[in-house]
Amino acid sequence: MVAVTKMKDPQISELLNFAHTLADLAAGAIMPYFRRRIAVTNKMSDGGFDPVTSADRAAERAIRKAIAATYPEHGIIGEEFAAAPGSGRYHWLIDPIDGTRAFITGSPLWGTLIGLTRDGQPLVGVMSQPFTGERFWADTRRGRWRGPDGKTRTLRTRSCPKLSEAVMTSTHPDLFTGADAQAFAALKSRVRMTRFGGDCYGYCMLATGFVDLVVEAGLKPYDVMALIPIIQSAGGVITTWDGKPATDGGRIVAAGDRGLHAEALAVLSARR
């Protein structure tokens, strides 16, 4: 009989603690650049405006180094550097500054996103806002958040089954083009109030029960992976506009209330 040595899976609590450590490392790398007059380089060759700050790259480097040192078999997918495929069940999806445009305007509505998948499924998520001192985190069972006062509270979405009573957020009206823009406009005309600006911050306000609906388009997997456990553990639903898993990014709709999510999907699909 041949002994098969199987690498023991880490405890989820250990992985969540490590995700917090990564968020701390990112904060240390990023904060020296926030509200400093820094150069904004343009990474798109076609002349479009997609700022990447030195902070973004410094944070991703620090995060990648720590993962490689602690869990060398884990894969890493980030915004700034090439993916490291890894050799195991675990993959980290990281966006050091989700909301770079908010960042460069001095707004605190950006965050560091740290997501971890096991066999492709979201396992742990952390959103960190180091300027305000806020952090939101979850595993598949429960979510928590902490504000500037240092108190830890449970994430819980609020009940809001009707579109006519819903508060919706989206990062920018220009996220949507063509038929998607028409679908978004139809939804916007049905809700009580829409606020723009927010990136990951809007999803966290949904998980704390102050926003009912977040609708976006053009997201990458690392823009959304960390947010999936944060929203699901709080009682919310997050999918694509077609009702498919949000794990691949794209057009995303998150709702704090299951009935509201169904209503939003119906409006978004009727116009396409």
Minimum CB separation from a second copy for residue 172, in Å? 7
Minimum CB separation from a second copy for residue 158, in Å? 7
Is 192 or 272 the residue whose CB approaches a second copy more closely?
Answer: 192
Minimum CB separation from a second copy for residue 220, in Å? 20
CB 92 within 8 A of CB 114: yes
How far apart are alpha carbons 39 and 209 in whole angstroms?
Answer: 37
First CA to last CA distance, the chain: 60
Give the interface with a second copy as residue ranges (CB under 8 A): 35, 37, 49, 101-102, 104-109, 131-133, 147-148, 158, 167, 169, 172-173, 192-193, 195-198, 201, 205, 208-211
How far apart are alpha carbons 201 and 128 in whole angstroms?
Answer: 10
Minimum CB separation from a second copy for residue 134, in Å? 9
Minimum CB separation from a second copy for residue 193, in Å? 6
Is 19 or 167 the residue whose CB approaches a second copy more closely?
Answer: 167
CB 221 within 8 A of CB 77: yes
Is 100 or 117 the residue whose CB approaches a second copy more closely?
Answer: 100
Is 83 or 193 the residue whose CB approaches a second copy more closely?
Answer: 193
Phi-psi region of 133 (alpha: psi -120 to 50; beta: other; left: phi over 0): left
Is 51 or 221 the residue whose CB approaches a second copy more closely?
Answer: 51
- Computed from CA positions of residues 184, 186, 187, 188, in that sequence, does the dihedral angle turn out positive or negative? positive
Minimum CB separation from a second copy for residue 191, in Å? 10
Contacts of 173-182 with C-beta under 8 Å, sequence gap 24+, read 175/216, 175/217, 175/218, 176/217, 179/271, 179/272, 180/217, 180/241, 180/251, 180/272, 182/271
CB-neighbour burial class of residue 19 (10 A; exposed 0-12, middle 13-18, buried 19+): buried
Structure tokens at 154: 């449970």
Is 41 or 121 the residue whose CB approaches a second copy more closely?
Answer: 41
* Residue burial 192-209, b: 16+ Cβ < 10 Å; e: rest: eebeebbbbbbbbbbbbb
Is 84 or 104 the residue whose CB approaches a second copy more closely?
Answer: 104
Minimum CB separation from a second copy for residue 101, in Å? 6
